[in-house]
Structure 1
Amino acid sequence: MASHLLAGERLVRALLPGGELEPEQLPPRLRAELEAALGEKPEGGDSASGPAHLVSFRLIRELHQYLRERDSTLYLHELLEGSEIYLPEVVKPPRNPELVARLEKIKIQLANEEYKRITRNVTCQDSKHGGTLSDLGKQVRSVKALVITIFNFIVTVAAAFVCTYLGSQYVFTEMASKNPDPLPFPSFPPL
């Protein structure tokens, strides 16, 4: 977690003699702590990138509180211009060699299982020789199922036709036999 700030040039210049913080008359303890902090370099700081000084957030808060109490026209955000939050490098602990070896074994096992699952239905038979007897059995069963389906369709269509044809003869003959003598139309007297 970040707890320090890389001080920018403006904050460093403000603390030097004749800087912006001189008229504010900082308390001696705060000034001494700030000067000590600005004199240090961070652990990972390289001198090629220029002066980089670490200041703790606690010192920045104290400076901000002091400036607010004095009703100073110098604002903290102006002093911190060019500063950056310092994030120290995270040091990863070395890995346990036994754990690494176990993980490698598990990875190899999983890769082998995946390979076996993928190649489970692949046969080593040469496709030029026509396959095995089990392939012939599968083909015969699929053809048999297709023939039975076609036969059932034909029988169903024929039965529906016969049922409709014979049923229509019975329905229409009964209606004709029920009404053998039609009544003559009544005659109306002439007008």
Structure 2
Amino acid sequence: MASAVRAGPRLRRAAEGPELAALPRALRDELRAALASEGSLVPFRLLRSLHAALRDAGSPLRLHELLEGSEIHLPEVPVPPRNPELVARLERIKARLANEEYRRMTRDVTGRETNGSLAEFGRQVRSVRAVVITIFNFLVTVAAAFACTYLVLCPCPQRVLSAVIVASVVGLAELYVMVRTLEGDLGKL
């Protein structure tokens, strides 16, 4: 915490000159001694006394004018030495956290910790398998409708067109059923 001011040129001139002649001699001597000390540090206690003396003497000089160009002296705070046991413990904790972070980042790369990954992979395979079965079922249904219509109708030139129309209708019906099923599984689209 600050307890002194490093004197600026204005305070030095006032201490040397006749501006502070109205002040008590002991106060002026103490101020000169503080200015002559190492770093020209003037304690706050002395500044309070100087302010009171200036006010009592009715001097036109104000303390803030004297302190122009001065700086507050902030002493160095001594840093206590660190406990070696604490430093070693902190280093161990940092190393452990770094290793855990590294393991978390490389978990999927090494393939050692695959319990979560295999479960996720299995869900994805089941989902893909369900889609493939649905598409295969759609294609077989449409092909069967086309084949049945083509074989049942008498040999006439319109049987190919009739088979395509029936297969299209069956395909649209199948798509409608698939959409309704997905709507039930996934909610309203």
Same fold, TM exceeding 0.5? yes
For 2:126, the equivalent position in structure 1 comes to 141
* Structure 2 residues not aligned, in runs of 5+: 113-117, 139-171, 180-189
Say whether residues 1:57 and 2:44 are aligned partners. Answer: yes
Q: 17, 26, 30: which one pairs with 1:29?
A: 26
Give runs of aligned pairs for residues 39-54 of structure 1, distance below 5 A.
39-41=36-38, 52-54=39-41
Which structure has the highest helix share of the two?
2
Say whether residues 1:157 and 2:154 are aligned partners. Answer: no
Give every structure 1 segment of 4 or more consecutive aligned residues whose post-TM-superposition deviation is greater than 6 Å.
133-136, 151-154
Q: In the TM superposition, what is the alpha-carbon distance from 1:114 to its structure 2 partner?
A: 0.5
Q: In the TM superposition, what is the alpha-carbon distance from 1:63 to its structure 2 partner?
A: 0.7
8 Å contact 2:20–2:28 — kept in the other structure?
A: no
8 Å contact 1:5–1:56 — kept in the other structure?
A: yes
Task: Decide which structure has the larger Cα Rg and report it.
Answer: 1
Give runs of aligned pairs for residues 121-132 of structure 1, distance below 5 A.
121-123=108-110
Give runs of aligned pairs for residues 65-76 of structure 1, distance below 5 A.
65-76=52-63
Provide the secondary structure at the position in 1 that maps to 2:72: strand
Aligned residues: 141
Q: 116, 123, 139: which one pairs with 2:103?
A: 116
For 1:8, the equivalent position in structure 2 comes to 8
8 Å contact 1:13–1:19 — kept in the other structure?
A: no
For 2:160, the equivalent position in structure 1 comes to none
Alpha-carbon distance in 1 for matches of 2:53, 2:131: 94
Q: In the TM superposition, what is the alpha-carbon distance from 1:158 to its structure 2 partner?
A: 4.5
Q: CA RMSD in A?
A: 3.4
How big is each residue's C-alpha offset from its partner over 1:114-133, in whole Å with a ceiling of 9 and x where there is no partner?
011111111469xxxxxxx9
* Structure 1 residues not aligned, in runs of 5+: 42-51, 126-132, 161-191
Structure showing greater relative contact order (alpha-carbon pairs closer than 8 Å, 6 or more residues apart) = 1
Q: In the TM superposition, what is the alpha-carbon distance from 1:14 to its structure 2 partner?
A: 1.2
How big is each residue's C-alpha offset from its partner over 1:70-94, in whole Å with a ceiling of 9 and x where there is no partner?
2211111221111110011122111
Is the alpha carbon distance of 1:121 and 1:159 closer, same or farther for their aligned partners in structure 2, counting shifts above 3 Å?
closer
How big is each residue's C-alpha offset from its partner over 1:16-47, in whole Å with a ceiling of 9 and x where there is no partner?
2x43212x2x1133222212211211xxxxxx
Q: In the TM superposition, what is the alpha-carbon distance from 1:134 to its structure 2 partner?
A: 9.2
Q: 97, 104, 114: which one pairs with 2:84?
A: 97
Is the alpha carbon distance of 1:135 and 1:80 closer, same or farther for their aligned partners in structure 2, counting shifts above 3 Å?
closer
Q: In the TM superposition, what is the alpha-carbon distance from 1:154 to its structure 2 partner?
A: 6.4
Say whether residues 1:78 and 2:78 are aligned partners. Answer: no
How big is each residue's C-alpha offset from its partner over 1:96-151, in whole Å with a ceiling of 9 and x where there is no partner?
111111111111000000011111111469xxxxxxx9998666423213236666
Alpha-carbon distance in 2 for matches of 1:63, 1:8: 16
